Amino acid sequence: MKKVLFIAFILGSIFTNAVAQDLITAADLAKEMKNPNYVIVSADLETEYAKVHITNAVNVSYKAFFKPGKIEGILVPTAEMEKIFGEKGVSESKTIVVYDEGAGKYATRVYWILKHLGAANVKVLDGGLAAWKAGRKPVTKNPSNVAAAAFKAKPNSKMIVDAAAATASKGKANTVLVDCREEKEFKGADGKSPGHIPWAVNVDHTTLLKADHTFKSKADLEKIFAAAGITKDKTVILYCSTGVRTGKAYLALTSILGYPNVVVYDNGLNEWIANGSAVEK
């Protein structure tokens, strides 16, 4: 019996370490600066990238994936996403490290897109550019000149759901619909938001990071999600307005906490409202 428990403990430890590897520290990334198998991606807007960025980083803004149209945030087709990444020298065969200024939402958005497209090795710089600067690592204003690459996507349809799946989650004990927007938006108290999908619970994405912009500890994250009734035995459907703010919760749940069934209603509240579906404050 003791032997069985020991083996289970070892396997559990291996799994925990494996799923936690989607975050990388500034110190560890600095060691890979000259590694040809690594590509560093700034997910910030082009204007922010032009001000300062990590040396050798390329810029793939999170907004590059917004399809033009009335509903903001709808993803462009897969072929276009392949082109966007490929033109910036990003190949799915490399280890891709994504970062933003520190808020985490833009980096984790591009992280989720890359995972959805089938990239095998994707990491997020924990603490973003703020942590990089704090560690006195090299930055520049000069754009990186990189050769184009071939990005071959293998989209994982199981990571994304539509409005019908969000609707079907109502009243299901084994499914929880999670609004990742700020609490005031969820409550319709910010003067702009009409509220939220009626049966959704709220986990404000800003509560997942510490003051230094790094992710909170596993124990703290477990408490945050458990307090909202989000447990490992449930299917978790994440949404926000455009999909951008779901990334932090997705990384926390899958990579840090090891939740097995986490998906994103990617078209989110913007589509929900456009469809005339009910919301409440």
DSSP code per residue over 188-202: T-SSS---B-TT-EE
| In 190-245, alpha helices (H) | 218-227
Which amino acid type is present at position 208? L
**What pLDDT, on the 0 to 100 scale, is given for residue 203?**
98
pLDDT digits (tens, 9 = 90+) for 151-171: 999 999 999 999 999 999 999
pLDDT at residue 7 is higher than 70: no
Question: What number is the average pLDDT over the span 132-160?
Answer: 96
Which CATH architecture describes the domain 20-140? Answer: 3-Layer(aba) Sandwich (3.40)
Asked if 267 and 162 touch (Cβ cutoff 8 Å), the reply is yes
- Six token digits for residue 115: 């995972």
Across-strand partners of 263?
237
Chain region(s) in the chain for CATH 3.40.250.10: 20-140, 157-274
Exposure of 91 in the CB half-sphere (CA atoms within 13 A) = 10
- Six token digits for residue 73: 């945030």
Question: What number is the average pLDDT over the span 12-31?
Answer: 71
% pLDDT > 90, the chain: 92
**What pLDDT, on the 0 to 100 scale, is given for residue 1?**
47
Asked if 155 and 118 touch (Cβ cutoff 8 Å), the reply is yes
- Class of domain 157-274 (CATH, top level): alpha beta
pLDDT digits (tens, 9 = 90+) for 30-88: 999 999 999 999 999 999 999 999 999 999 999 999 999 999 999 999 999 999 999 99
List the single range of 6-10, 48-52, 143-147, 239-243 with lowest mean pLDDT: 6-10
**What pLDDT, on the 0 to 100 scale, is given for residue 21?**
79
**What pLDDT, on the 0 to 100 scale, is given for residue 228?**
97
**What pLDDT, on the 0 to 100 scale, is given for residue 20?**
57
pLDDT digits (tens, 9 = 90+) for 75-122: 999 999 999 999 999 999 999 999 999 999 999 999 999 999 999 999
pLDDT at residue 8 is higher than 70: no
- pLDDT interval class at 4 (50, 70, 90): very low
* C-alpha dihedral (115, 240, 209, 90), degrees to nearest 10: 30
pLDDT at residue 270 is higher than 60: yes
% pLDDT > 70, the chain: 93
Closest CA to 247 of 120, 36, 140, 99: 99
Question: Model pTM?
Answer: 0.92
Question: What number is the average pLDDT over the span 213-221?
Answer: 97
pLDDT at residue 217 is higher than 50: yes
Question: What number is the average pLDDT over the span 176-184?
Answer: 98
Query: What one-character DSSP code corresponds to residue 252?
Result: I
Instruction: Using the structure block, give the residue that is written with the tokens 């490992």.
Output: 232
pLDDT at residue 230 is higher than 80: yes
pLDDT at residue 17 is higher than 70: no
